[in-house]
Structure 1
Amino acid sequence: MIRFPARQPLPQQHLPGRSSPKRFISATAMALMLPLVACQEAKPPAAEGRPVGVTRVEAGAVASDVRLSGEIQAEKSVGLAFRINGRVTERSVNVGDRVTAGQVVARLDPTLERNELTAAQAALQAARGELNTARNTFARQDRLMTQGFTTRPRFDQALRAQETAQAAVENAEARVELARDRLAFTELRAGVSGIVTARSIEPGEVVQPGQVVITMAREEGRDAVFQVPARLLEDHAGTYRVRVALADNPAVTAAGTVREVATQADPGTRAFPVKVSLINPPEAMRLGSTVTGVLEISTPAIISIPAGALTQQGSTPAVWVVDPATSTVSLRNIDVLRFDPDRVIVVHGLEPGDLVVTAGIQALHPGQRVRQLPTPAGASAGPA
Structure 2
Amino acid sequence: MNSTIKLKELLSSLLLRMRELDITRRQLLMGLTLTFLLVVFGFVVLNSGPLASTKVTTIKVSDQSLAPTLFGVGTIEARRSYLMGPVVAGRVLNVYVDVGNSVKEGQLLAEMDSIDLSQKMVAAQAQVTDARARLLLASETHKRYEELGKKNFISPIAVDGKLQELNSAKAIVQKTTADLDGLKQQELNIKLRAPVDGIITSRDAEPGSTVIAGQAVLKLIDPTSLWIKTRFDQGKSMGLAVGLDANVILRSNPHYPISGKVVRVEMLSDSVAEERIAQIEMIDMPKTVSIGEMAEVTLQLASSEYGLSLPNASIKKRGDETGVWVLKDGKPYFARVQIGQNGLNGQVVILSGLKSGDEVVLYSDAEIKEGQRIKVVDSLLKKSP
TM range (shorter): 0.5 to 0.7
Larger helix share, 1 or 2: 2
| Per-residue deviation, residues 293-347 of structure 1 (Å, max 9, x unmatched) | 142464772523337999xxxxx99999xxxxxxxxxxxxx99422899756135
What residue number does 2:137 align with?
133
Match of 1:304 among 308, 330, 343: 308
Larger Rg: 1
Contact preservation (8 Å) 1:252, 1:284:
no
Q: Could you tell me which amino acid in structure 1 is paired with residue 63 of structure 2?
A: V
Give me the whole-angstrom Cα distance separating, in 2, the residues matched to 1:104 and 1:119. Answer: 27
Contact preservation (8 Å) 2:92, 2:211:
yes
Contact preservation (8 Å) 1:195, 1:217:
yes
Give me the whole-angstrom Cα distance separating, in 1, the residues matched to 2:348 and 2:235. Answer: 19
What residue number does 1:293 align with?
296
Deviation at 1:82, TM superposition (A): 1.4
Deviation at 1:180, TM superposition (A): 0.8
What residue number does 1:236 align with?
237
| Per-residue deviation, residues 16-71 of structure 1 (Å, max 9, x unmatched) | xxxxxxxxxxxxxxxxxxxxxxxxxxxxxxxxxxxx9877522444336x474x44
Contact preservation (8 Å) 1:309, 1:356:
no
What residue number does 2:351 align with?
346
What residue ranges of structure 1 are gaps of 5+ in the alignment? 1-51, 311-315, 321-333, 361-384
Alignment of 1:277 onto 2:254: no
Identity level (%): 23
Contact preservation (8 Å) 2:62, 2:309:
no
Q: Could you tell me which amino acid in structure 2 is paired with residue 116 of structure 1?
A: K
Deviation at 1:147, TM superposition (A): 2.1
Deviation at 1:168, TM superposition (A): 0.9
- Alignment RMSD (CA, Å): 3.8
Normalised to the residue count of structure 2, the TM-score between the two structures is: 0.62
What residue number does 1:177 align with?
181
What SS class does the counterpart of residue 123 from structure 1 fall into? helix
Give me the whole-angstrom Cα distance separating, in 2, the residues matched to 1:246 and 1:317. Answer: 34
Q: How does 1:77-226 map to 2 (within 5 A)?
A: 77-226=81-230
Q: 1:170 to 1:342 in 2, by over 3 A?
A: closer
What residue number does 1:263 align with?
268
Q: 1:204 to 1:105 in 2, by over 3 A?
A: same
Q: 1:342 to 1:192 in 2, by over 3 A?
A: closer
Q: 1:246 to 1:61 in 2, by over 3 A?
A: closer
| Per-residue deviation, residues 207-237 of structure 1 (Å, max 9, x unmatched) | 2222222221113321223455xxx332331
Contact preservation (8 Å) 1:79, 1:214:
yes
What residue number does 2:370 align with?
none
Give me the whole-angstrom Cα distance separating, in 2, the residues matched to 1:128 and 1:342. Answer: 84
Match of 2:63 among 54, 57, 60: 57
Contact preservation (8 Å) 1:238, 1:300:
no
Deviation at 1:264, TM superposition (A): 4.3
Q: How does 1:365-376 map to 2 (within 5 A)?
A: none
Q: 1:112 to 1:304 in 2, by over 3 A?
A: farther
Contact preservation (8 Å) 1:53, 1:358:
yes
Q: Could you tell me which amino acid in structure 2 is paired with residue 193 of structure 1?
A: D
Deviation at 1:88, TM superposition (A): 0.5
What residue number does 2:50 align with?
none
Contact preservation (8 Å) 1:127, 1:168:
yes
Give me the whole-angstrom Cα distance separating, in 2, the residues matched to 1:141 and 1:67. Answer: 83
Give me the whole-angstrom Cα distance separating, in 1, the residues matched to 2:126 and 2:107. Answer: 32
Q: Could you tell me which amino acid in structure 2 is paired with residue 187 of structure 1?
A: K
Q: 1:180 to 1:75 in 2, by over 3 A?
A: same
Q: Could you tell me which amino acid in structure 2 is paired with residue 154 of structure 1?
A: A
Give me the whole-angstrom Cα distance separating, in 1, the residues matched to 2:267 and 2:203. Answer: 26
What SS class does the counterpart of residue 111 from structure 1 fall into? coil
What SS class does the counterpart of residue 263 from structure 1 fall into? coil
Q: 1:305 to 1:244 in 2, by over 3 A?
A: closer
Contact preservation (8 Å) 1:309, 1:358:
no
